[in-house]
A and B are shown apart, each in its own frame.
Chain A
Amino acid sequence: MPEQRKRIVIVGATSSIAEQCARLWVTDHVADLTLVCRDPVKTERVATDLRVRSPDSTIRIVKTDFTDPAAIRNLVDGIVAVGAVDIALIAHGALSDQAACQPDLTMCQAALMVNGVSPVLFAEAFVGHFEAAHHGTVAIIGSVAGDRGRKSNYVYGAAKGLVTRYAQGLQHRLAHSAVKVVLVKPGPTDTPMTADLKQKGAKLAKVGDVARVIVQAIDRGQPVVYAPPKWAIIMLIIRHLPRFIFNKMNI
C-alpha cells in the first residue's frame, strides 16, 4: 500500500523554525506542502531547497496579507477546497523591539497584530474546516514570553499570551472532537530573529532541536509543548515567583 501523502500548510514558512519543520516533514516521507508567505521571492528559496530534498513531494507557495481577515478567510477556504488538510502550522512572527514599541504606538500595534491577532485569525479559519471534516491538527507557535509579562519584551509577550489564551479556549471547544490543537512554546532559539539576543550573550537552543520537538508534538497531538522541554520547568518557576521577587529581577 503506498504511503499516504500528508497535506500540510505552513503559515510563515520563511521562519527558521518552520523551515526546519518542513525539512523534517519531507525527510524520509513524501508530503504535499503549501507555504503561505508575505515574501514569495524569499519563500521560493525555501521551496527550492525542499524540492531538492524531496523531489517527489509537492511544494506550493501562496502569498497573502497576514493582517487582512478577508484575505485570510479566502486563502484558507481556497486551500481546503482543493483537498483535506492534515496539519496547519502557524509559525509566523517577528520579535519586536520592546524599547521602540513603547514610544511608537504604530510599531506597538504592528507587533501585537503580527504576533497575536494574525495567528489567531489563521487558526480560526482552519479550525472550522477541520471540525467539519472531523480531522486535522492546528499547531500554533507561541512563546515562553507569553507565560509571564516582563519588562524586556512585554509587547511581544502580550501578543504571545493572547495566542496562549486563544489556544486554551480552542482546546476546550474541541475537547470532544477529533481535531487537535497543539500550542508550541519555544524558548529563545538560535534564528535570525534572535540575532540581537545572541549578541547579548543569551544561550539559545538549536533550531533543528526545536523543530524536532514540534514535529513530534504534532504527531502525538500534545496540547502544550515547550521546546526544548526544559523550558517547561523554567517557566513553571517563573510563573509562580511572587511579585516582590519577580520585580527585583532584571529579565
Chain B
Amino acid sequence: MVKVSSWGRLSHGDHEVRMLADRERIAGPLRSNRPGIAYGNGRSYGDVCLNPDGVLWRTTGLDRFISLNATTGRLVCEAGVLLRDIQRLVIPRGWILPVTPGTQLITVGGAIANDVHGKNHHRLGSFGDHVQRITLHRTDGTRIVCGPDLEPGWFAATVGGVGLTGVITEAEIQLHRVVGPWLEAETLTYANLDAFFQLADNSEIGWEHTVSWIDCITRGGGRGIFLRANPTEAGGRPVPRARNLTMPLVPPISLVNRLSLRLFNAAYFNLNKSRAGKTVTPYESFFYPLDNIQDWNRMYGPKGFFQYQSVVPRAVGRDAVQAMLHEIARSGAGSFLAVLKTFGDRQPVGLLSFPQPGVTLALDFPNHGERTLKLFERLDAIVREAGGRIYLAKDARMPRDLFESGYPRFVEFMQYRDPGIGSALSRRLMEN
C-alpha cells in the first residue's frame, strides 16, 4: 500500500497502486475484488482521483502517441499522455489543443474524465467538445469505443464522468490550427464586478481567451485584473525555455494567511495596473503560469488546501458572486489564486460536465478545518439558491443535495457506471 494525495494534499490515504503500461493488456490489472479508480497525474484537487484502501490504476505509463495526421489535425494517443507533451509536439507543426485548463501537466484521460475548460470556453467549449473517440475499458473485461456519433450514450457519460464509467485508455482529439506559440495579450484593471462583466461581454467577440484575477479581500472584494489574448504571428522567434522553480519543502504553516494575502493582493493589483497594456507573450506563460513552480501546492502547509469553484447562471451571476465575495471577505479567508471568468452560452457534452452558461469563480483556501468548512456551507447556500453547481474536479466536501441539484442528469448517468469502479468522491456523493 502506498500513501497517495491529490493536488489539494488534504488526505494521504493508503492505496494499492497498479501501473498501467500496456494498452493491449489492461484487463489483467483491472480485475480486482475491491473497487479501483484511474489516477493520472494527480492534479485534480479533491477526492475525485482518490480511493483510500482501494486500488488506483496509474495511467501515466500509457503515454504513447498513436497517430497524428498533419493535414487534418487528428491526434490519437494513449490516455496517460500529458497535455504538455501534446502541445510541444503539435504547436511547431501548426496545431494546438483547442482547450486546455490552467495547467498543462494533466493527462488526456483526466482532461476527458473531468471535461476540463480553459480561457476560451466562450469560443470552443470544453475539452470533450473536441474528442472524437474514446476507448473505454470496463472492469468486466469488455471494451467500449465511443464518440459523439458512436455509442453517444457512453460518450456523454464518460466525458466529465470522473472516471466512473470505465478506464479510458485511448482517445482521438481534433486539434485546431494555430499560427505559432505566441499570443498578443492585453492586461486591464477593473474596479468592481459591473466593470468585470462589461469587459467580459465586450471581449467575447474580439478575443479568443479571457480570464481575470479577482482581489477577494480589498474593500470587500471585486476589483481585479482582466486578461485577454489572441494568437499572433508577431513573436516570430522560438519561445525561450522558462525557468523552473521548485517549492522545496512543506512549510509548517500555510504561507497564505490574512497578512500575506492583504500584502500580496495589493502588490499584485498595483503591479499589473502599472503594466496594463498590450504585450506579446509565449503561450506557456499565458496559459499555464504556475506550471513553472513545481509543487506550488506545498505553500499551503501540511494541512493542504481546498479549491472552491462554482458556476452560477448569468442572470443572477453578479449578485451571487458579490454575495460570495462578501462572505469570503467577512471570513478573512481567501487566496492569491482567485479566478473569475464568464462561460459561453453553450451546453457541455457530458452528463456530469461542469461548464454551463454563466460565470465561474474559483478560489483556493488553506485548510483550517471546521472554520473553512463552515465558510463553504455559506457559499454552498448562495450557489444552491442561484441554481449553480460546484466543479467535481476541485471538490472534496460538497453535500450530496448540492451535487444532486447541481447535476440533475446524474440519475441518467448512474446506469453507465462500472460496478468495479469507485472513488472517495463517488462514495461521498453517489452511495458507492
Point out residues on A near B: beta carbons under 8 Å: 16, 41-42, 45-46, 48-49, 52-53, 55, 192, 195, 198-199, 201
Residue in B18, B24, B65, B67 with the greatest tally of chain A CB atoms within 10 Å: B65
Q: Which residues of B (38-84) have their CB < 8 Å from a CB of A?
A: 61, 64-68, 70
* Cβ–Cβ contact B2 & A201, under 8 A: yes
* Cβ–Cβ contact B17 & A199, under 8 A: yes
Residue of A nearest to B64 (CB): A49
Q: Which residues of B contact A41 (CB under 8 A)?
A: 24
Given contacts A42-B22, A198-B2, A199-B2, contact A48 B67 (CB under 8 A): yes
Bound form: Cα–Cα A8–B131 in Å:
36
CB within 8 A of A46: which of B3, B64, B68?
B64
Q: Which residues of A contact B381 (CB under 8 A)?
A: none
B150 located at the interface, meaning its Cβ lies under 8 Å from any Cβ of chain A in the complex: no
Q: Which residues of B (9-38) have their CB < 8 Å from a CB of A?
A: 16-19, 21-24
* Cβ–Cβ contact B2 & A49, under 8 A: no
Q: Which residues of B contact A49 (CB under 8 A)?
A: 64-66
B144 located at the interface, meaning its Cβ lies under 8 Å from any Cβ of chain A in the complex: no
Bound form: Cα–Cα A33–B28 in Å:
31
B247 located at the interface, meaning its Cβ lies under 8 Å from any Cβ of chain A in the complex: no
Output the least CB separation between B171 and chain A (Å).
Answer: 14
Extra contacts besides A46-B64, A201-B2 (6): CB < 8 Å: A45-B23, A45-B24, A49-B65, A52-B89, A195-B17, A195-B19
Given contacts A45-B23, A201-B2, contact A53 B18 (CB under 8 A): no
Given contacts A46-B64, A198-B17, contact A53 B89 (CB under 8 A): yes
* Cβ–Cβ contact A52 & B66, under 8 A: yes
B1 located at the interface, meaning its Cβ lies under 8 Å from any Cβ of chain A in the complex: yes
* Cβ–Cβ contact A48 & B2, under 8 A: no
Point out residues on B near A: beta carbons under 8 Å: 1-3, 16-19, 21-24, 61, 64-68, 70, 89
Bound form: Cα–Cα A45–B62 in Å:
11
Output the least CB separation between B142 and chain A (Å).
Answer: 22
Residue of A nearest to B89 (CB): A53
Given contacts A52-B89, A53-B89, contact A195 B18 (CB under 8 A): yes
* Cβ–Cβ contact B21 & A192, under 8 A: yes
Bound form: Cα–Cα A213–B17 in Å:
27
Residue of B nearest to A192 (CB): B21
* Cβ–Cβ contact B67 & A192, under 8 A: no
Output the least CB separation between B340 and chain A (Å).
Answer: 35
Residue of B nearest to A49 (CB): B64
Given contacts A49-B64, A192-B61, A198-B2, contact A16 B17 (CB under 8 A): no
* Cβ–Cβ contact A48 & B16, under 8 A: no
Q: Which residues of A contact B24 (CB under 8 A)?
A: 41-42, 45
Can you sample 13 A-B contacts with CB below 8 Å? A45-B22, A46-B64, A48-B64, A49-B66, A52-B67, A53-B89, A55-B70, A192-B21, A195-B17, A198-B17, A199-B2, A201-B2, A201-B3
* Cβ–Cβ contact A16 & B61, under 8 A: yes
Bound form: Cα–Cα A234–B152 in Å:
55
* Cβ–Cβ contact A199 & B1, under 8 A: yes
Bound form: Cα–Cα A192–B3 in Å:
18
Output the least CB separation between B411 and chain A (Å).
Answer: 38
What 3 A-B pairs are tightest by C-beta distance, nearest first? A52-B65, A49-B64, A192-B21
Output the least CB separation between B135 and chain A (Å).
Answer: 14
* Cβ–Cβ contact B65 & A53, under 8 A: yes
Residue in A16, A52, A55, A195 with the greatest tally of chain B CB atoms within 10 Å: A52
